[in-house]
A and B are shown apart, each in its own frame.
Chain A
Amino acid sequence: EIVMTQSPATLSVSPGERATLSCRASQSVSSNLAWYQQKPGQAPRLLIYGASTRATGIPARFSGSGSGTEFTLTISSLQSEDFAVYYCQQYKKWPPLTFGGGTKVEIK
């Protein structure tokens, strides 16, 4: 099973600042990596797939990078609606498909 590790667990950022979230895979997943955003009381929403392709309707301030075992989600200028929990997920080798433990982005 591929273990996904996200860091940090919590990220405190001021509105307008850049946020950088990390996701590490226990073995290579090539570019088979997705990012999701989850707000309280809501289902997760797909942000990024293929490590760097934005899903339909996702603003350009969200960008993904990386390949192999190291990945980054960057939010270039945090808006109030971006404070949420973010998860990464690998779909290279399965079953099982696996998620990281999440990074909570909170207001500083």
Chain B
Amino acid sequence: QVQLVQSGAEVKKPGSSVKVSCKASGGTFSNYAISWVRQTPGQGLEWMGGIIPIFDTANYAQKFQGRVTITADESTSAAYMELSSLRSEDTAVYYCVRVGNTSGYYSWYFDLWGRGTLVTVSS
């Protein structure tokens, strides 16, 4: 069965960038969309943006617009989330999630989650 395998934990300096990867193991991204959701320490869940790999179109939350770039490579079933101008408040676990597909239509709930990547921003 399909799993989303994310890259390992990162420690970054304020002002730098981080790029987190997500690869579908045991399957592909075909006919699915991918989103990124983050969870800050002790806090809830926050949607950052998503992409439909076959169309190569991305949407972002306004909060992250201009700082986040989500890309996908359908040929390798991999997706990436790059966040720039990092600050301490970006310290969080970043999840790659698969968007639901109901009868061939994208339904933007999340039916499969990666294990998360901890990004720590510290000087």
Chain A contacts to B: CB under 8 angstroms: 32, 34, 36, 43-46, 49-50, 55, 87, 89, 91, 94-102
The verdict on A96 contacting B116 (CB below 8 Å), with A44-B45, A55-B111, A91-B108 known, is no
Chain B contacts to A: CB under 8 angstroms: 35, 44-47, 49-50, 59-63, 95, 100, 102, 107-116
Residues on the B chain within 8 Å of A91, using CB: 107-109
Residues on the A chain within 8 Å of B114, using CB: 43
Give B96 Cβ to nearest chain A Cβ, in Å: 10
The verdict on A96 contacting B62 (CB below 8 Å), with A43-B95, A49-B100, A87-B45 known, is yes
Q: What is the bound-complex CA distance between A34 and B35, given in angstroms?
A: 15
Inter-chain contact B107/A96, CB cutoff 8 Å:
no
Q: What is the bound-complex CA distance between A94 and B49, given in angstroms?
A: 10
Q: What is the bound-complex CA distance between A99 and B17, given in angstroms?
A: 26
Partner of B44, one of A32, A95, A97, A99: A99
Give A85 Cβ to nearest chain B Cβ, in Å: 9
Nearest 10 pairs of A and B residues by beta carbon: A34-B109, A91-B108, A96-B61, A43-B113, A97-B47, A99-B45, A49-B109, A46-B111, A101-B44, A95-B59
Smallest CB gap from B48: residue in A: A96
Smallest CB gap from B98: residue in A: A46
Q: What is the bound-complex CA distance between A67 and B110, given in angstroms?
A: 19
The verdict on A44 contacting B111 (CB below 8 Å), with A96-B47, A99-B46, A101-B44 known, is no
Residues on the B chain within 8 Å of A94, using CB: 47, 59, 108
Smallest CB gap from B6: residue in A: A43
Residues on the A chain within 8 Å of B47, using CB: 94-99
Inter-chain contact A49/B61, CB cutoff 8 Å:
no
